[in-house]
Amino acid sequence: MGVNTIERIKARRLAGTSMRARTEIIALALTLSLTVGLAFTVVPALASADKLKGTPVPDKDVASLVAAALSCPALSPQKLAAQLMATSAFGNAGGKGIAAMSDTDWSRWRPWPGAGRGDHAANILAVAHRTCETVGSLRAAGVKGDLWSAALAADKVGVRAVIDAKGVPEAAQDNVRRAGAYANWYAEQPEFTTKTDKNKSTKKNEAKAMDIPAGLVSDVTAAGRICPTVTPVRLAAQLRALSNFNPNLQGPSGAQGIAQFTPDMWEEYSPGDSTSPWNPDDAISALGTAMCDLTDQFAGLSGTNPYVLALGAYQWGPDVIRQAGGLPRTTVPQLVDRAQRFTQEYQKDPRLAPHRTPATSPAPATGAPHDPTPGHSPSAKPSPNVPASKTQPPMSAPPAPAADKATPVKCTLGAGYRIQNVWAGAVLDVPGDNVKHDAGTRVDMWKNTHAKDQVWTITKAPADGYVIITNKFTGLVLAVEKKSSADRAKLVLSAKLPKVKNQQWKLIDAGNGQIYLQNHLSGKVMDLLGNDLGAPRKDGTWNGSYVQQFQRQPRAHDQRWRLLKN
């Protein structure tokens, strides 16, 4: 990993992602939908020898149980399943969802605003959070022994009664015993454990090679050039593990297509406005970008291979990996295990071998720096042959701005500019070919075609030191989607409201005629997804890729822009 990326990767890892908690809890039940009975360790049953048969856990809920059980050490997936079985048998419980909480409890414990009673993932997380808080309260009060059982008792008779009894009161013993018996039964079910003879059969079947369909090879090799770590071989193995290369697969947790993107993950990594997770070209491209970005996020975490953690994050969600300090300890089959087994097979496929042609210089090396000051001629248009890979560190880190003083940049107010990304060489664009879009349309990147909708005018904003950036063709202004202050929030066109800080930008000198564009409301700067990644599109371009905001990283190339006077 180049020295010029370390600072940015660390900051991005600390910042986390902007994906909602929901993304982490509706984690993909990926391998469950594709295989039966992978090998893993059997979790011991509870102390009681009693077992009570429960309702089988729906496939879509298994990953949610595993993720929610990480909320505190007192929980396990089978214990949570037992709680839900005891309260609702995984049914709707008269409109109160599988958690069967009172209106008061649901208002307090629902994990995100607007979470519905019928949302299983939200119900599971709500139960986990409530149980863990009760466990903490009981421990603080000096209650000893099995605090999970004590927390169940508190649900029945109240926390005070459990504290006074220093354990499970007699009035709650039947409820606790029943839930414990369910937990013993769930600990032996296929979703949480597997017998040895089935393991042997599974491994034998998985050892069989499956050729990559010829029509997908070019997609896989192109996506495997976005960053050095995520190779074509690794992507092929991951696609095999996720979907068996089936572009029409609908996963049990709502995952879609050949790469099994959940809707929230697709929202994060979609390569553009007109793309779909059901289209293999789009999905494989997005998978390459996602895995490169996730690998960067987990560089250095717990001393584990960041690519392994990235596979875990793709299955469980990044927050689960951070919370667990690595892969969650669970008997649920791990995507990483299956993908790594297939990797050995695809290393033998000559179609996936890396190209021997030396990598060319990246986009920042093309064209002379442009000084965005009045009367200065723009730099020459960069070469359209933007490389798709940066497997070799071809250049030094960009110069840091002097003393980081947010030096303002002079430009000709009212003049038209093309806003070029230093790393990509592409310019800020509006989707389509000179189309009059409505407010809310996301802006994207495109090669400089000198189209009318690639021209932006810069005018003074009411706030001192800030400007309004208006698309000359549409008349709409540049803003952050939903006025978000989060990292990774996308940039959109918006109806002009000059006093709204979300539409105001500061042009900050980055040296060598380059600038940062910093949003007034969020304080974040314009950015491309990932950590100076290679071109995400199959044709080696950034065409159609969304633009986002992120906290400023002095050594990042893809946060730097040039103003090319029209």
CATH number at residue 224: 1.10.530
φ/ψ of 153, rounded to 5, equals: -65, -40
Predicted structure pTM score: 0.70
Within-domain flag for 125: yes
* Residues contacting 214, CB < 8 A, separation 6+: none
Q: Which of 324, 352, 380 is the last residue of a domain?
A: 352
Cα torsion 43, 47, 51, 57 to 10°: value is -40
Same domain, residue pair 182 and 201: no
The encoded tokens of residue 147 equal: 């605090």
For residue 445, give Cα distances in angstroms to 203, 413, 425, 474, 536.
45, 23, 9, 16, 11
> How many domains does the structure of the chain reveal?
3
Within-domain flag for 177: yes
Q: Which amino acid is at 99?
A: A
277 with 232: CB under 8 angstroms? no
Same domain, residue pair 14 and 49: no
Q: 10 Å Cβ neighbour count for 113?
A: 6
Within-domain flag for 420: yes
Per-residue confidence (pLDDT) for residue 93, from 0 to 100: 74
Same domain, residue pair 97 and 180: yes
Same domain, residue pair 338 and 384: no
Per-residue confidence (pLDDT) for residue 331, from 0 to 100: 67
CATH number, residue 558: 2.80.10.50
Per-residue confidence (pLDDT) for residue 302, from 0 to 100: 62
Q: Which of 132, 159, 186 is the last residue of a domain?
A: 186
Nearest CA to 85 among 203, 178, 168, 149?
178
Question: Residue 275 pairs with which residues in a beta bridge?
Answer: none
Beta strands in 239-331 (DSSP E): none
Within-domain flag for 27: no
Same domain, residue pair 242 and 337: yes
Same domain, residue pair 202 and 319: yes
Same domain, residue pair 227 and 324: yes
Same domain, residue pair 180 and 214: no
Q: pLDDT tens digits, the chain, 566 residues: what are they?
A: 443 433 343 344 334 433 434 444 444 444 334 433 332 222 233 344 589 999 999 888 888 898 899 889 899 999 999 999 999 999 987 789 999 999 999 999 999 888 899 999 899 999 999 999 999 999 999 999 999 999 999 999 999 999 999 999 999 999 999 999 999 999 998 877 644 333 443 444 454 558 899 999 999 999 999 999 999 999 999 999 999 999 999 987 778 999 999 888 999 999 888 899 999 999 999 999 999 999 999 987 767 899 999 999 999 889 888 888 888 877 677 899 999 999 988 999 999 986 543 333 344 433 333 333 333 323 333 333 333 333 333 334 444 433 334 556 778 999 999 999 999 999 999 998 888 889 999 999 999 999 999 999 999 999 999 999 999 999 999 999 999 999 999 999 999 999 999 999 999 999 999 999 999 999 999 999 998 999 998 899 999 999 999 999 988 999 999 999 98
Within-domain flag for 26: no
Give dist(CA 224, CA 226) in Å, integer.
6
Give dist(CA 3, CA 555) in Å, integer.
9
Same domain, residue pair 315 and 297: yes
Within-domain flag for 32: no
Per-residue confidence (pLDDT) for residue 324, from 0 to 100: 82
For residue 260, give Cα distances in angstroms to 207, 257, 278, 438.
22, 5, 9, 31
For 14, the domain range is 3-19+196-352
Same domain, residue pair 418 and 507: yes
Per-residue confidence (pLDDT) for residue 469, from 0 to 100: 98
Within-domain flag for 319: yes
Same domain, residue pair 53 and 9: no
Q: Which of 132, 158, 186 is the last residue of a domain?
A: 186
Same domain, residue pair 172 and 204: no
φ/ψ of 561, rounded to 5, equals: -135, 160
| 3-state SS track over 57-123 | CCHHHHHHHHHHHHHCCCCCHHHHHHHHHHHHCCCCCCCCCCCCCCHHHHHHHCCCCCCCCCCHHHH
HSE-up of 14 (CA within 13 Å, CB side)? 7
Within-domain flag for 358: no
